[in-house]
Each structure stands twice: as C-alpha cells, then as structure tokens.
Amino acid sequence: MTWQDGTNFGLNDDDIAIRDMARAFAREKVYPLAEKIDAEHYFPRELLPEMASLGFLGAMVPESLGGSELSQVQYCILIEELAAACASTSIIVSAHNSLCVFPIVEYGTQAQREEFAKPLASGEALGCFALSEPGTGSDAAALTCKYERTDKGFVVRGAKNWITNGPEADVCVLFATNDTSSGYKGVSAFVHSLHLDGISRGRPENKLGICGSPTCALQYDEVELPATALLGEEGRGFNVAMGTLNGGRTGVAAQAVGIARGALEHALAYSKERKAFGSAICDHQSIKNYLADMVNRVDAARLLTHSAAFKKDQGLRYSREAAMAKLFASEAATWVANKALQIYGGYGYVKDYPAERHLRDAKITEIYEGTSEIQRLVVADTLLKESEG
C-alpha cells in the first residue's frame, strides 16, 4: 500500500513533523489492528497510552496543562492520518478532543480545566459529548433532558442517545434544559464524571461501520451534579454546543478525507496488480477515469477542510466553512469508497479486502455531528446572511 501526500499548501515544518509522526504511528500501530477492530467490534484500548504520550489526546489542551496544543490544521492532519488507517480509531480520538476536551478548555473555568482537561490529555480519562436524545437529533434545541437547581447544585433526569465513546468514557459534556418552553435559551452545558450514581449506559449499538468506536445511550436518573459542573453561563449551553460542533465538523471532515484516501490508496495499488484483457486494470480508461475522479475529490475535500481549520486558527468565524468541509468531504468519502469497491469488483464485496469496510465507515460521516441536510442548511443560511452585508 502507498501512503501519499496529496494536495497540501502552506504546511510549515511543525505541521509536516506532526503529519509524519501521526502517519508513522497510524501505519505501524493502528493499521495492523484495523481489521480486528472492525470485525470484532474491538475497542483499541491499548492504543490510548501511546496516543496520549504522543499528544494525540491533548490536542486541544494548553501545554501548561499537559496538552500538545495543536493548531486546528495540525489536528485535522492528525485525524486524517488516523482515519486513513482506521476510521474507528480516528473518531475515538476526534470525539474525545473536539467534542469533550475543546468545550472544557474553551468555555470552562480554570478549575474545570485542571479537574477534567488534564486527565483527558494524559489518557487517564476518555471523553464524550451528550447532546442528541432518542427523539432529538437535528433539532438539537428541542432536547428534553431536564435539569433543576438544588441547594447543592443541580439534579438531572432524562435520556441521551448516540453517544460516541459512551461505553468507555469517564468524562461527559452534557446538555440539558430547565425550561423546554424557552427553546435553545433554556439549555445549559455541564461537565461531569460519568462514574456517578444514577447514570446508566445502554448496550453498545451494533453499527454498520466504525465498529470499534463504541456508541451507547445514557440514562440520567436523578443524577446530582455539583454547582461547579455548569460549563459556561447558565442558559448559554446551546451556544456551547454549536461552537463545539463547528470544530467537531472540521474533525469529521478530516476523518472523511482520511477514509477516502485510505480507500483510494488501496484501490490504486490493486488496480496496478490486477490484470484483465492482457494488462493491469489501471491501464484501462474506465479505471483511469475513476482514479482521476477519486483523487480530485480527496484533494478538494482536504483543501476545504484545511481552509475551515485555518480560519478557526485565525480566530475568524468559520461555521459556514466547517459545514462546507464536512458536507463535501463526507459525501466525497462515500463516493470515493464506493468507486474503490467497484475497482476491486467481486473482491471488493467480500471482507477479505478493506474496500467494503471503507464504504461502511464512510457513510457515518454524512450523519454524525450534523447530517448533510443540516450542513446544507447552515451553508445556505450563512450565505444568505452574509449576502445581506
């Protein structure tokens, strides 16, 4: 298998060093486990200590708290490299960083950063994010998980769904409302340990793809949280969720780029080996057309992803760019993985080759952290707003 660079621009020496380190780790430690992770729905816990020591689990954490403080562009490079080897491993790292560590560092107090971000960066704890509910996905403001104030802090009751890392996580960023009639203005964010009385985890979901990334529901039965669990201002939780998802969407876009690149690399290698009508199939025009269209999509997806991440690094508004990157990269990943499987022909349809895994893994990138339909809404709404001047 070849490991190619594709189109990049403006990467500095640090970015390239991080890419090379992530690529070496992905190739030597993650890729050999990818088939087992998928086939056995295996959570690769043994990768966590080394990923922590390489700074992968503290990518969003300041160096003063033991993190590696990567730029968003560097973070996207890291996620792409992991995803090219194993999509499950990449989303374990991405959900931990983008959805749990980021909001703690961005919106939390210094005490919350010390209590939660430090162990999340060191690998002592794994993070998750609880926004969706059984009846609330795209319409996130309609959530019903309820919190009430008490003398000591808060009490929470309700259900959360589709929690990536849920079965294994130790720390959760939770969204709950104290007034469903107030819409998004009733929502507050909290950060808490998942090892509290009253929290139960559902059985791990049996998914189409990313099978080593564990997902479950969470049930909160009269869970008591201390007053210090409130993350950001009361009533501003929806803004915490949206601000967090902007960054998360660049991470999923990078994951999609990695899955697409992995699919392309395998199909490219196969097309050079496989013979039909007297020559390697890559010599046939139909296959060349596929390869050209695949690499175009991979590189265009990476450029959109890095452009959104670059805007975040500059401190600029980037919600439209993040949505554009996720929308394009996720649909490109499914398209590229589908064409890669086609290049393999019958061999693509069986589990002896990774082509069908790439296709199963790619599909979720069109769904989680905001469906393609929601991304189109965000892109069009921000475009219309910006055009008003």
Nearest residue to ligand COS, scored by beta-carbon proximity: 370
Binding site for ligand COS (CB under 6 A): 131-132, 137-141, 162, 184, 238-239, 242-243, 245-246, 319, 368-370, 374, 377-378
Which residue, 239 or 342, has its beta carbon nearer to ligand COS? 239
Catalytic positions are 369
Q: How far is the CB of 162 from ligand COS (least distance, A)?
A: 6
Closer to ligand COS at the Cβ: 187 or 295?
Answer: 187
The three-state DSSP-derived secondary structure of the chain is CCCCCCCCCCCCHHHHHHHHHHHHHHHHHHHHHHHHHHHCCCCCHHHHHHHHHCCCCCCCCCHHHCCCCCCHHHHHHHHHHHHHHCHHHHHHHHHHHHHHHHHHHHHCCHHHHHHHHHHHHHCCCCEEEECCECCECCCHHHCCCEEEECCCEEEEEEEEEEEECCCCCCEEEEEEECCHHHHHHHEEEEEEECCCCCEEECCCCCCCCCCCCCEEEEEEEEEEEEHHHEECCCCCHHHHHHHHHHHHHHHHHHHHHHHHHHHHHHHHHHHHHCEECCEEHHHCHHHHHHHHHHHHHHHHHHHHHHHHHHHHHCCCCCHHHHHHHHHHHHHHHHHHHHHHHHHHHHHHHCCCCCHHHHHHHHHHHHCCCCCHHHHHHHHHHHHHHHHCC
Least distance from ligand COS to the Cβ atom of residue 341, Å = 26
CB of 284 to ligand COS, least distance (A): 41
Shortest CB 378 distance to ligand COS, Å = 5
CB of 144 to ligand COS, least distance (A): 14
> Which CB atom, from 65 or from 141, has the smaller least distance to ligand COS?
141
Which of 20/381 has CB closer to ligand COS?
A: 381
Nearer Cβ to ligand COS, position 154 or 368? 368
